[in-house]
Structure 1
Amino acid sequence: MTQSAPDPTGRASLDGARGLAAIRIGIGLAQGVLLYLLYRSAAQAEGLSWPATQPPLFAALVLAALFTPVMLLAGVGRMGWKALSLWGAVAAMILALLGWHDAAQQARDYFHPPYLRFPVVAFAAAALFIAHHLITPAIQSHRWIADFDDYFDTAWKAGVQLALSLGFTGAFWLLLFLGAALFRVIGLSFLADLIDEKWFSIPVSCLVFAVAVQLTDVRGGLIRGVRTVALMLLSWLLLVITVLVAGFLAALPFTGLDGLWKTGSATALVLSAAAALIVLINTAYQDGREDNLPPAALRIAVRVAAVLLTPLILIAIWGLSLRIGQHGLTPDRIIASACALVGLLYAVGYGWAALSPLWRKTAWMKPLERTNILAAILTVLVILALFSPVADPARLSVNDQMARLKRGVVSAARFDYVFLRYDAGKAGRAALAELAKSSDAEIARHAKAAQASTSRYDLAETTTPPRTPTIAAWPANQPLPAAFVASAPAGDPRYDCSEQNDCLAVQRDLNGDGREEILLASSYNIALFAQGDDDRWVHQGDYQVAHCPGPDAARRDLREALKRPDLEAVATAWPDLGVGGQTGRFQPKDNCPPKPSGVNP
């Protein structure tokens, strides 16, 4: 069988459709069989078998088996066999190395197949998609850097094709489940039993996906039509996000950034808005050819959105720098910093594309094309660095946190031993072992306690220092006891009370003993505190408040409920039971009173 030459437009030749179909079906079946064998080695009732007994090897095989065949399905018909085989081998090797490293640097507690963390899987898929659609147009044009419209056509067509193929696979399984339900109605369960068998479901899923890729590929014109419609619809959403981001930035001088920092996820929010702008700008720009120029309103929106990227990225960098300065590096902050770096390149490039016509004549947003190519290359390099030993976030975070401890930036009592024990993999465990040998008795004591712990939550309560809560009193003219608001340990409901998480406290004598208890309410919980013989305020338990239908059904904030004048202690309808020296607490089946007959909810 001879290979048909790749179509310069990137569409599989119809003359070679049968050959391409056979190759893609073979790739799909091979992937399905390989994934099933990997699943079988990790899911045997008698225990794990090779290669699941070797976590780094298993993770490497899983990551390579998940994504390399998908890349080969996309490359068939677009590359020559030598180029495709070489690129496939390189991609599989890189994926395997990323999977190997991810499993090798993790600690073994709660370590189960496939031994891969979600960020590695997600970012590896993104890097492979970007790299493949940088390489394919370059090979087709026999140049190191292809024309931008070739990159655009290849990548966006593949994106639509991937979405349709996944949708086709999902629809196939919905029909299978429907058929199984129909047969079960008449007492036949063979199809339902077959679906439950992994030797069937895994290979069939891969096969159906491969068939979907082939079906969408031989009708490239239809795919381009779907892509054109999707891009047109998405491009008009650029107007919406541009107005929203502009309004947000315009309001900041009047509101300040304090509200944004209080969310605890300011950087993620701002970077997400920037990512939305970048994607929608490209849906409007498309391949940049004059016959694809959008309407004037969209051209203006693209220029404005391109300029708005810079303040968004600067706000994200500012927020990250504040958090890192206060609390040091963590893996999440390192990944966010990498995203901000890529975003900064987009912001500079897009801002230049939008503003350069002010001092020189150039085609509309033309510099955007160079920015997209450079950002794509940078994204791949950053992902490879982050999930390899080059810039492993866990290792960098551990080094930074240890340096902060040695410099005295953070005290031994406030150091995050939980991070080293449970979130930093082998690098964290090694650092914890080093701290356990420290000459500082307090550091060594905390580190040994962390090494011996079996629960991150128990460890957090014992190693996290107490702090002074911020609690409002009601009525405001009735101050709370000084001992109640002086200090709260981790795990105490008062510990989370701060300006970001408002709490309200009310003093009441609930049990009629002449001494007042304190009810502490957040938006979702009411905790009861009573004063012991040593004058310490002790958390007794929590009240579960049902949200029943009625005129007050919308009132969900329990802090407002404590302010009501009808707040009172109510006797339970049924007593608790004493059983052999233990007390059985009655839990009502329904906390809401029955509705009168004839009354609609």
Structure 2
Amino acid sequence: MTNQQLRPNEALIVRLATGLVFGLAIAWLIKSFDALEGRSIPLWAQVLTSTLMLGAFILWAGAGAMKRLSLAIWSVIALGLIALIAWNRVAHANEGGYNPFFFNLSFLIYPFLFITHELVSSADQSGTPIAPYGLYFDEAWKRGVQLALSVIFTALFWGILWLGAVLLGYIGFSWFKDLLSNEYFSWPISGLAIAASVNLGDVQTKLMHNFRALVLGVLSWLLPVITVIGLLFAVSLCFSGLEPLWKTKAATASLLTACVALVLLINAAYQQGDAERPVHIVLRWSARLACGLLAIFAGLAAYSLYLRIAQYGLTPERVMALVGVVIALLYGLGYAVAAALPRGRWLNPLEPVNIALAFVMAAICFVVLTPIADPYRLSAQSQAERVNSGAVIPEKFDWRVLRFETGSYGLDELKRLSKSGKTDTIRKAAVTALAVTNEDRYLITPYQPPQNRVKPDARRLKVVAPEKALLPTSFLQQDYPDEGYTPQCLTNTDRVCTVVLLDLNGDAKPEIIMRDSNALYIYAEGEKGWEMQGSPLYNSGHEEDFNAGRVTAAKPKWDDLMIGKERLRLRD
């Protein structure tokens, strides 16, 4: 086999053949699953299905870019890597956790394969282990746009097929609908559709280039927007402190999302530097500032995750977050240095940083997707060490994590603790956890730490109606849970709420209607004391009337409808 690039017609044949053959094989596997009638799917069948589903994209993407021999060797290696990753997840996941599309903890296989394929493909085209940055940029963005267009094309293709099935059904013909529901038709035809759309992206180079330019242009001008928002956020933190951010309970995820957006938009603005085309000064300064913001956000995300892991140990989700934090820190450091260097073309150091981080990201994804640093294994070891070392007492330890949320590694750790735990209490608790079946998994209730509670401060509650009314003493003497939906004037010494006392339920006792910023909270007194009854819709247009005490109770226009013991509410 001569190591030459495939001709356009040969690339089309390879792609169509891959779609047809892989589609038929997947259809056969799925039909064989149906015949199992509730029995577990064999390990080899799960691995093969996942390998075929994702391996087809390697052949589709490589057929139009790589040389023949290189494509053959890389396809075998890629299929082997996918099979290894699929085996690791199936063999060590929880019971019933099989998913051929690599959802949940295995989703990193998508960036892993995308990055490694572009590194291999670009190196093959350039003939050097490290290709020029311009080739990496062109190939990666082309492949990303090509993939997006393929998904859109295939979705529209199936939409038209189902429209035809519906129209034929109207006149009494159901054979076409039955055909679309048949795996031996649906999977091969989907493979052919994706193959044809990918090939169209290679043939229509001008269309792809223009579409890519449009996407990059739109994304690049979103960079100044996110930069301004990021600066406002960073400056605001200097005055508010980090406590409001921690209270969101989603600080790490939000900050990492911001990091991803910044990296994407910085590269959309930079593209291949100002040597390729002039770059507006607004984009230049936005990109430099965004590089600094990226480092700040990555650092905050790392600190947030550190606090969580130090307190509760590793879980599979926290390991995945840790992967994101490590990558974000590397990007933040590299981009900050690139922006700070005074010499050379505008942000030119981004190019070697991007190339180096592509290799690093591929390596990190690989070790996390394989037994080397499997999130299940790391989490199981971390949790077992916490309870066995005495960092957390067995009565407060969440045994469900080891039993059900860390795969076979968690079961292995439980078996080890049941035999060699440091104390008799640990050994007995491990034996008890092992005995719990999947059906009874939620009988193991996780330990809930004591909830912080706060008492209202009358100085931070301004009663505006009725005039000269006072808050009930029972309300002020009671303490309330410090949770995300609690009015901040109860927990924040700098916040003041306006209050209206009004009887809303006709019991001749006033309820408390509290306005905190742009939210209303209604408290009513019952047998268990004062409890929040809800938070009705409210907007800033009501603020003037509320502060002036112009609040009254209004009867509904329609009574509720009772059918038996069920109440149906009629809306206005």
TM-score, normalised with respect to structure 2? 0.82
Indicate whether 1:83 and 2:70 are aligned.
yes
Query: Which stretch shifts more, 260-269 or 31-40?
Result: 31-40
Indicate whether 1:198 and 2:183 are aligned.
yes
Indicate whether 1:440 and 2:440 are aligned.
no
Cα shift readout 1:463-483 (whole Å, capped 9, x = no counterpart): 54665655769985434799x
State the match for 1:74 in structure 2. Answer: 61
CA distance in 2, matches of 1:304, 1:367: 15
Alignment of 1:43-54 (within 5 A): 43-44=34-35, 46-48=37-39, 53-54=41-42
CA-CA distance at 1:259 after TM superposition: 1.0
CA contact (8 A) 1:286 1:292 kept: no
**Alignment counterpart, residue 299 of structure 1, candidates 271, 277, 284:** 284
Query: Which stretch shifts more, 185-194 or 147-156?
Result: 185-194
CA contact (8 A) 1:138 1:144 kept: yes
Cα shift readout 1:63-91 (whole Å, capped 9, x = no counterpart): 21122111111111322221111111111
Indicate whether 1:587 and 2:566 are aligned.
yes
CA distance in 2, matches of 1:525, 1:40: 54
CA-CA distance at 1:185 after TM superposition: 2.0
CA distance in 2, matches of 1:263, 1:107: 30
Query: Structure 1's 281 and 20: CA in aligned 2 closer, same or farther, altered over 3 A?
Result: same
CA-CA distance at 1:376 after TM superposition: 0.8
CA distance in 2, matches of 1:46, 1:366: 59
CA-CA distance at 1:418 after TM superposition: 2.0
Query: Structure 1's 528 and 65: CA in aligned 2 closer, same or farther, altered over 3 A?
Result: farther
CA distance in 2, matches of 1:120, 1:96: 16
CA distance in 2, matches of 1:182, 1:82: 47
Query: Structure 1's 289 and 42: CA in aligned 2 closer, same or farther, altered over 3 A?
Result: farther
- Counterpart AA for 1:304: L
CA-CA distance at 1:119 after TM superposition: 3.1
CA distance in 2, matches of 1:86, 1:291: 34
State the match for 2:372 in structure 1. Answer: 390
Identity of aligned residues (%): 32
CA-CA distance at 1:352 after TM superposition: 1.5
CA contact (8 A) 1:27 1:69 kept: yes
**Alignment counterpart, residue 22 of structure 2, candidates 14, 17, 31:** 31
Indicate whether 1:277 and 2:268 are aligned.
no
Query: Structure 1's 23 and 273: CA in aligned 2 closer, same or farther, altered over 3 A?
Result: same
State the match for 2:236 in structure 1. Answer: 251
CA contact (8 A) 1:59 1:116 kept: no
State the match for 1:97 in structure 2. Answer: 84
State the match for 2:347 in structure 1. Answer: 365
CA distance in 1, matches of 2:203, 2:361: 31
State the match for 2:482 in structure 1. Answer: 498
Alignment of 1:87-126 (within 5 A): 87-108=74-95, 111=96, 113-114=98-99, 118-126=103-111
Cα shift readout 1:443-492 (whole Å, capped 9, x = no counterpart): 7247615732534443226x54665655769985434799x96xxxxxxx
- Counterpart AA for 1:384: F
State the match for 2:513 in structure 1. Answer: none
State the match for 1:326 in structure 2. Answer: 311
- Counterpart AA for 1:293: P
- Counterpart AA for 1:152: F
State the match for 1:182 in structure 2. Answer: 167
SS at match of 1:310: helix
- Counterpart AA for 1:97: L
- Counterpart AA for 1:43: D
Cα shift readout 1:117-137 (whole Å, capped 9, x = no counterpart): 513442111110110101111
CA contact (8 A) 2:291 2:339 kept: yes
SS at match of 1:363: coil
- Counterpart AA for 1:586: K
CA contact (8 A) 2:561 2:570 kept: no
Query: Which stretch shifts more, 205-214 or 37-46?
Result: 37-46
CA distance in 2, matches of 1:574, 1:304: 59
Query: Structure 1's 98 and 45: CA in aligned 2 closer, same or farther, altered over 3 A?
Result: closer
CA distance in 2, matches of 1:467, 1:442: 26
SS at match of 2:565: coil
- Counterpart AA for 1:22: I
CA contact (8 A) 1:386 1:392 kept: yes
Q: Structure 2: which 5+ runs fail to align? A: 462-469, 491-500, 508-518, 543-550
CA-CA distance at 1:525 after TM superposition: 11
Query: Structure 1's 289 and 297: CA in aligned 2 closer, same or farther, altered over 3 A?
Result: closer
State the match for 2:296 in structure 1. Answer: 311
Alignment of 1:193-592 (within 5 A): 193-288=178-273, 290-357=275-342, 361-437=343-419, 438=421, 439-441=423-425, 444-445=428-429, 448=432, 451-452=435-436, 454-460=439-445, 464=448, 467=451, 469-470=453-454, 477-479=472-474, 497-502=481-486, 586-589=565-568, 591-592=569-570
State the match for 1:161 in structure 2. Answer: 146
Query: Which stretch shifts more, 431-440 or 35-44?
Result: 431-440
Q: Structure 1: which 5+ runs fail to align? A: 7-11, 486-493, 513-522, 532-536, 556-563, 577-584, 596-601
CA distance in 2, matches of 1:430, 1:181: 52
CA distance in 2, matches of 1:425, 1:153: 40
- Counterpart AA for 2:279: P
CA distance in 2, matches of 1:106, 1:99: 10
Query: Structure 1's 22 and 3: CA in aligned 2 closer, same or farther, altered over 3 A?
Result: farther
CA contact (8 A) 1:274 1:309 kept: yes
SS at match of 2:566: coil
CA-CA distance at 1:158 after TM superposition: 0.9
Query: Structure 1's 149 and 97: CA in aligned 2 closer, same or farther, altered over 3 A?
Result: same
CA distance in 1, matches of 2:233, 2:449: 37
Query: Structure 1's 586 and 193: CA in aligned 2 closer, same or farther, altered over 3 A?
Result: same
**Alignment counterpart, residue 52 of structure 2, candidates 50, 53, 65:** 65
CA contact (8 A) 2:3 2:67 kept: no
Query: Structure 1's 142 and 4: CA in aligned 2 closer, same or farther, altered over 3 A?
Result: closer
CA-CA distance at 1:412 after TM superposition: 2.0
Cα shift readout 1:249-268 (whole Å, capped 9, x = no counterpart): 11111111111111111011
State the match for 2:9 in structure 1. Answer: 18
State the match for 2:495 in structure 1. Answer: none
- Counterpart AA for 2:315: T
State the match for 1:152 in structure 2. Answer: 137
CA distance in 1, matches of 2:451, 2:427: 19
CA contact (8 A) 1:385 1:392 kept: yes
Cα shift readout 1:87-122 (whole Å, capped 9, x = no counterpart): 1111111111111011111232xx164367513442
Indicate whether 1:42 and 2:33 are aligned.
yes
CA distance in 1, matches of 2:566, 2:365: 51
CA distance in 1, matches of 2:193, 2:452: 59
CA distance in 2, matches of 1:237, 1:206: 35
Query: Structure 1's 135 and 524: CA in aligned 2 closer, same or farther, altered over 3 A?
Result: farther
CA contact (8 A) 2:400 2:441 kept: yes
